Amino acid sequence: MIRTLAIVAALLGLAAAIALDAPTPGGAPAATATFASDPRTLPAVCPGTQTIPVGDIQSGDAELDSGSDEVDFTVLPEGGEVIDGGTAFEGVGMSLERIGSGDIAGLAGMTCAPTSRDQWLVGGSTELGASARLVLSNPADTSVRAEVALHTPVGAVDGVTSVVIGPGAQRIVLLEAIEPEMPAVAVHITAGGLGVSVAIQDSRLDGFTPAGSDWVTASAVGEALAVPVPAESDGGRGATVTLIAPDGAQVDLSMVTDQGEVTWIGESALTLEPGVLTEIPVPQAAPGTVLIDASAPVAAASRVRIERDAPAGQGTQAYDFAWTGSQARADARERAVVVPPGEVSLLVHADAAGAVDFDAVGETLTVTVPASGSVIVPVDVAAGVRLSSTTEASWTLVVTDDPGFLTTIEPVSVEMSSVETTVIVGG
């Protein structure tokens, strides 16, 4: 059973605070006490299967139904705890879902999201034909309150949405119900306790044609970031990178592949207004990495859309896409993924050329990064194996499948950390 230290910390804090001081008459400040837990790995949750945003419509024609009989859903490793509709782990886990037909046909994968008190998710859309389904999971044994602040290309949406998630439960928030008709969105989520695990299901239609579905997970916030671009996108809309600076920033952008630096399209030096989402095209190139150098903290993510054959009667083209969040370029913490089944590649970037070592349960996988700083190589590691690295490099697993499906599995920190709990004695 996954348990938090919240109850223990609260009881200790209550006893200590009462011993130190009691609330005084007349509204004087109450006593507070702060306690740090023993170092531990934060629990993580995979949110479960995707949901058709407008319901499962049955037409009697399998090629026109919104749902699908071709669903293959995998969660690894085995033995996670059921959390409402999701699965929770004390360590690292991953989910991969292949939906072969219907409105949300595509490949959607993610590393189970660790709980956090403060996180940014960059990705999704609420315009016509799109749905952004925010899933908040609480693996703790006590309820937790989370506040969701939505940001768009025209700035922050007024007010916040407050959500209480019960113990071992999930809550769903449709972002289109908060602010519709936005081509791009980002959410800032703050929570108490050990925090919450969060992911966004971004699903899209192009008219009646499936246009892809994927999970958006938390992006790193920093001044020197790398954003993997896992595939060459189609020439129609190309890949994009979406950025947000909570307090505003000056940013310089560049992109590298295994062939060197790519000529940037348009202006590569940008001014980001505080809290305003900015979405810009990425050069059409081989898989690579967008590098961000900023004057103040920024969060970012890339979205790559690829063409695939459309189902019969739905035109000539359909699409799938993958969201991949930003990573800190100087992050040397141990970060890990669980290798999914299927055709898997490893996209790696390092600021300096050389060897990047990955541990695959006692075996070492070495990737040589060229002078350009970015490389993609096939991964010959069995599904379910934990792959980790402690090198200052950004990396992600790229998963593909027929007939043109794409997703990424991003690493998360697996180092133990201490959580501080502050208790206030009320009147």
Q: What would the pLDDT profile of 205-227 be if each residue is shown by its tens digit?
A: 988 889 999 999 999 999 999 99
**22 in any annotated domain:** no
Task: Strands of 26-175 (E only): list them.
Answer: 32-36, 44-46, 71-76, 81-83, 86-89, 94-99, 106-111, 113-114, 118-122, 130-138, 144-152, 155-156, 161-165, 169-174
**340 in any annotated domain:** yes
Report cis status (omega within 30 of 0) of the bond before 403: yes
Q: What mean pLDDT do residues 384-396 have?
A: 96
Tens-digit pLDDT profile for residues 112-130? 999 999 999 999 999 999 9
Percent helix, strand, coil in the chain, to 5, is: 5, 50, 45
**36 in any annotated domain:** no
Domain count, the chain: 1
Domain extent, residue 348, equals 44-424
Lowest mean pLDDT among 3-12, 93-102, 230-239, 349-358: 3-12
Question: Which pLDDT score, from 0 to 100, does residue 208 have?
Answer: 82
**9 in any annotated domain:** no
**155 in any annotated domain:** yes
Question: Which pLDDT score, from 0 to 100, does residue 65 have?
Answer: 58
What is the pLDDT confidence band of residue 353, given thresholds at 50, 70 and 90?
very high
**285 in any annotated domain:** yes
* Sign of the CA dihedral running 150, 118, 75, 83: negative
**161 in any annotated domain:** yes
**10 in any annotated domain:** no
Question: Which pLDDT score, from 0 to 100, does residue 362 have?
Answer: 87
